[in-house]
A and B are shown apart, each in its own frame.
Chain A
Amino acid sequence: MKNLTCSLLTLFALATATPAVSADEEIVVYSARKEHLIKPLFDAYSKMSGVEIIYITDKAGPFLARLKAEGANTPADMLITVDAGNLWQAAEQGVLAHVDSKALNSNIPTHLRDPDNRWFGLSVRARTIVYSTERVKKRELSSYEDLADPKWKGRLCLRTSKKVYNQSLVATMIDRLGEKKTEQVVKGWVGNLAVPPFSDDTRTMKAIVAGQCDVGIVNTYYFGRLQKKDPGVKLALFWPNQKKSGVHVNVSGAGITRHAKHKAAAIKLLEWLSSAEAQKLFAGLNMEYPANPKVKPDPKVAAWGEFKGDDSNIAKAGALQRKAVMLMDRAGYR
């Protein structure tokens, strides 16, 4: 019993030792972008500026709940997350601060940041059509809406509607086409599915390669990873909706928290992340497109061809996400 008491006391001493997070030269980051995609940038910045960056990774939803609960006591200075829907929600719930920065305003185009400058897109990914080069002719493809056409019956593969990327895609369609038309399209997709939706984009593409289906909708960087592993893979990207709205693009981005303790330092980091120097690495690490238009994408990414992206403000995707989720439920898109 004595041993037990001892070990419990030790445990409590250990547990109540708070991490020191108040030196001047440090920034605390909550990142929903994965560690291996963000750490190299932090390392580079620390080396250059001498500022230490303390970070922790998790999903966007829990971070949001945490920031709200911690309120003024939050240790976090910056929130990095993926998808416009999550960024919009963070701004909406009041955990992000308005930031006035010339550098950010000039580095990041208006449609890739919050209209009120509470978050800034840092990398761009297109959610586009991928097809089997063996069984599909490029001219058969035209738009997202067209994938609802009966000619694709039993030939379509999709990722689950629970993934925020699909929610944002459908949200922008609601914005463009209205709810009624969008619901018809989504129902058409569901009717054309060859197999139930997959849990991720990589599986969707592998199913197309294996011949389970012929077309799908994926984020560009997943295709990039697959191509890197298997350069001869019999898949290609197609840029839909080029005549009108353009390909659906989404961002990963960041904002400064409302109760940041190291606000000036955190803004400096954010500015650096949007600079030409960091953008190359930020996008390159994950085969994405830089958000800063002055920076050229990685040659491998550029090889997929030029396309017209949807340039309406992506904050809309966030505002309509709820509607999109409900619409997909009604349409039976799992």
Chain B
Amino acid sequence: MTTELSVNAGTLPRRSLFHRHGWHIAIMALAAIVSMPLLLIFSGWLQAENEVWRHLSETVLADLVGNTLVLLVGVMLGVLLLGVGLAWLTALCDFPGRCFFDWALMLPLAVPAYVLAFVALGVLDYAGPLQTQLRSLFGDGVWFPQIRSTGGVISVLVLVLYPYVYMLTRSAFLTQGQGTLEAARILGLGSWGGFFKVALPMARPAIVAGTSLALMETLADFGTVAVFNYDTFTTAIYKAWFGLFNLQAASQLASLLLLFVALALIAEGRLRGRARYHETGCRSPQQRHHLVGVRAWLATLAAASLFGLAFVFPVLQLLLWAWEVVRNDLDSRYLALLWHTLLLGSLAAVLTVCGALLLAFAKRYRDDAVNSVAVRIATLGYAMPGSVLAIGVMLTFTGIDNFINALWRLFGNAASGQLLGGTVAALLMAYLVRFLAVAFGPIDSGLGRIRPSIAEAARSLGAAPRGLLQRVYLPLLRPGLLTALLLVLVDVMKEMPATQLLRPFGWDTLAVRIYEMTSEGEWERAALPAITLILAGLLPVIYLVRRSGHDTPSPQASPKEPMNKSGRRWV
């Protein structure tokens, strides 16, 4: 089915058989696939679970909702400040070390949130080496911020999630024409004014896409908050399921979470109104704003300290811990773990990006009610806690299996047992449902910046639909596509609960290995798979960064034009 869909994505509608309804059919098929597990989760409402609801609302629910809101606001402010601020600095200013930080600031993306959480707690909590050392130097009364606190959880999440905003906003700033900013300056805006009144509003789709990814991940997170024992709405879901053994009530809670996300996204869409964000006019190479003196060094300091906290610190600590156990724990199975991790990640990335391309094109060509609802549904999965989503996918596939087996028996054959459940297909489906939003964000905001007149011009010059896609859209979309591929790849590599439930026999991954250790409180032994995971995740990040730094094509340039070798096209 997916192959057929991707072909549809390739054939633009003008002369296709689906002239009228092609986009509707394709996009609704995709939304149907994606929403099947979600529907199963919503079906939890078919059974009333009053007792659990009464209990939760009488005891913990108010606190959990409050905690969740605080967490969302904190993470939002944090990722906006760091993500947008740093993107502005590295994309449009110049300061010592800019070339390094430009890509280095994306690296924390490879650090799973739960890993940073246990490293931070291990080192910084009261019993950790740092505070112990401080106490031995200055006595017991020495003050240190409480790590296992709201502030602690927010900091950890911000440090691992800001790259979403940073990456998307950075590429939006890079593709913004100098003309617009120059016009603003001529009309009397200072550099701050230009930032707030022109650059920022123009980058809004990218900023919103990045921030909503960060917030959806925050909502779905269980691993990080569990390390801190910080109770959020997901805690209630898990409590209903694992503590009260009530999967129905858990599904009901989870579906409320989805509803909340859907409403928030719709509200943002309304606020944005019918505004369009195409680039207009020719783009000339950007002039970087040269920071000098104290301001330059402050910029360097900000970038360096963030990079240190979010990346250097966890990596060094993990290396130290891993060193202690490497002799006993490292065996040939690590190669298999690594291979499975990379293979699943790449397959899921390709599949998910194809799905996202389909969604984004459908939305561009037929931006009507049907399509926009379908897009909303298809991208909801990211806000769903992994375990609950995995159950939805599992139920879908075992349902199909049971149905086929029943048919099989009807014809007098022996049952064949599992067909789809417990196969890579089930797992990839879970990844598709969960990460479609991640791929959709960068592709959609990239597509939004391509003026329709470019495609129109190509068509009037005789480009066939396929040629249009291959020679116009894909090259122009390249940075967005690469970002989408990378984000999904890295996210899938870090994904834990769905992989655990749906992986076929023998398909253990690094994330599974990390869970095996952390769930037993063996942080040092978890460091070995964790550092392997981070290093493996770095490869695609660095690859992407090198590519996107070198060949961000501009609309007026032919895609075949030789690229500027220095990679400093925008300087």
Contact = CB atoms under 8 A, between A and B. Distances in A.
Interface of A: 1, 4-5, 7-9, 11-12, 14-19, 21-22, 28, 34-36, 54-62, 65-66, 69-75, 89, 160, 162, 164, 167, 195-203, 206-207, 209-212, 222, 225, 261, 321-322, 325-326, 329-330, 334
A212 to B, nearest CB: 5
Nearest to A212: B126
Contacts of B519: 34, 59
A327 to B, nearest CB: 10
B7 A35 contact: no
B505 A12 contact: no
B521 A72 contact: no
A62 B501 contact: yes
Contacts of B523: 202
A34 B466 contact: no
A21 B350 contact: no
A196 B229 contact: yes
Nearest to B524: A229
A17 B423 contact: yes
B501 A66 contact: yes
A73 B398 contact: yes
Interface in B110-158: 121, 125-127, 131-132, 140, 148
A8 B127 contact: no
A58 B505 contact: no
Contacts of B59: 326, 329-330
Contacts, number: 185
A236 B7 CA distance: 67
B402 A11 contact: no
Contacts of B423: 15-19
Interface string B376-404: 00000000000100110011001101100
Contacts of A222: 521
Contact of B387 (A34, A62, A198, A200): A62
Contacts of B402: 70-71, 73
B140 to A, nearest CB: 7
A334 B229 contact: yes
Given A15-B424, A35-B516, A58 B500 contact: yes
Interface of B is mostly: helix
A257 to B, nearest CB: 13
Given A16-B423, A195-B126, 13 more contacts: A4-B6, A11-B428, A19-B505, A57-B512, A59-B519, A61-B242, A62-B387, A62-B501, A65-B391, A73-B398, A196-B148, A322-B244, A326-B59
A11 B350 contact: yes
Nearest to B397: A69
Contacts of B391: 62, 65
Q: Which 9 A/B pairs are nearest by Cβ-Cβ distance?
A: A15-B425, A210-B127, A202-B521, A200-B521, A206-B127, A325-B243, A329-B59, A69-B398, A15-B424
Contacts of A329: 55-56, 59-60, 239
B96 interface: no
B424 A1 contact: no
Contact of A14 (B242, B424, B505): B424
18 contacts: A1-B6, A1-B466, A4-B6, A11-B347, A12-B3, A19-B505, A35-B508, A56-B503, A59-B242, A62-B391, A71-B402, A74-B418, A202-B522, A207-B127, A210-B126, A210-B132, A329-B239, A330-B59
B435 to A, nearest CB: 15
A1 B417 contact: no
Given A18-B418, A75-B418, A8 B428 contact: no
Contacts of B522: 202, 225
B516 to A, nearest CB: 5
A8 B6 contact: yes
B51 to A, nearest CB: 9
Contact of B398 (A19, A55, A70, A198): A70
Nearest to B242: A61
Interface string B237-256: 01101111101000000000
Contacts of A199: 226-229
A198 B147 CA distance: 12
A112 B6 CA distance: 56
B500 A62 contact: yes
Contact of B505 (A54, A209, A322): A54
Interface in B473-520: 497, 500-501, 503-506, 508, 512, 516, 519-520
B148 A19 contact: no
Contacts of A75: 417-418, 422
A73 B347 contact: no
B227 to A, nearest CB: 5
A7 B353 CA distance: 13
A108 B321 CA distance: 39
A36 B516 contact: yes
A160 B132 CA distance: 24
Interface in B234-292: 235, 238-239, 241-245, 247
Nearest to A164: B242
A198 B229 contact: yes
B97 interface: no
B2 interface: yes
A260 to B, nearest CB: 12
Given A4-B6, A201-B521, A322 B60 contact: no
Contacts of A57: 500, 508, 512, 516
Contact of A325 (B235, B244, B425, B520): B244
B386 to A, nearest CB: 10
A12 B347 CA distance: 10
Nearest to B500: A58
B298 interface: no
A198 B512 CA distance: 23
A19 B401 CA distance: 14
B126 A207 contact: yes
B6 A5 contact: yes
A195 B148 contact: yes
Nearest to B240: A325
Nearest to B7: A5
Contacts of B425: 12, 15-16
A321 B243 contact: yes
A199 to B, nearest CB: 5
A225 B238 CA distance: 28
Contacts of B60: 329
A34 B405 contact: no
A21 B242 contact: no
A212 B127 contact: yes
A5 B3 CA distance: 6
B350 A7 contact: yes
B108 to A, nearest CB: 23
B470 interface: yes
A73 B390 contact: no
Contacts of B399: 69
A14 B239 CA distance: 37
Nearest to B140: A211
Interface in B44-63: 55-56, 58-60
A206 to B, nearest CB: 4
B469 interface: yes
B194 interface: no
Nearest to B501: A62
B119 to A, nearest CB: 13
A196 B3 CA distance: 52
Contacts of A14: 347, 424
Interface in B23-77: 55-56, 58-60
A34 B520 contact: yes
B215 interface: no
A39 B391 CA distance: 26
Nearest to A11: B347
A110 to B, nearest CB: 25
Contacts of A225: 522
B210 interface: no
